[in-house]
Amino acid sequence: MRVFKRPTSFNNEIIIINLESDEFLLESIIKYLKDNNIKNACILSGIGTLKKLSYHRVLSTSMNPENEYLSLEGPFELSSLQGLIINFEPHLHFVASDLNNTYSGHIEFNSQVLYLAEIVLLTLKDFSIKRNPNEKNIYFIEED
């Protein structure tokens, strides 16, 4: 287990990103962070609607898991989006549903907003962290 702790400071900010129809979810979040030089952040909440959902999920429990990449046409209700962005690299998971199914996994680029999306993020300006792969090519967070 790795734990990274910093006292709360006024240096960090809570930011609400409100996306409109046809904007791309992940691309918009990353663009905002890069445009504002926010290297590390935590997605606290994400809700909205999607017209296109792109994601991947693992298919096995082997040490070299196979990933399945999916792209589905909506409409979808985005019920949850959360995760970390470290060094501008996202690791975000979601839960979304349509009229018949619920979907969950790792959100990918090209997921597109239907009506709106509301994202709440916390900047992690006090952290100097990065992701590095271990011997099994699984990326873990480390102090930078």
The C-alpha atoms of residue 92 and residue 90 are separated, in whole angstroms, by: 6
pLDDT digits (tens, 9 = 90+) for 42-85: 999 999 999 999 999 999 888 777 899 999 999 999 999 999 99
Does position 128 have pLDDT exceeding 50, yes or no? yes
Task: State yes or no: pLDDT of 6 exceeds 90.
Answer: no
pLDDT band, very low/low/confident/very high, at 110 (cuts 50, 70, 90): very high
Tell me the domains of the chain and their CATH numbers.
14-143 (3.30.1330.80)
pLDDT, the chain, mean: 91
Reduce the DSSP state of residue 30 to 3 states and report it. helix
Average the pLDDT over 21-26 and give the result.
98
Which pLDDT score, from 0 to 100, does residue 1 have? 43
Q: Mark 29-61 as b/e (b = at least 16 C-beta within 10 Å).
A: bbebbeeeebbbbbbeebebbbebbbbeeeeee
Q: What is the pLDDT of residue 135?
A: 82
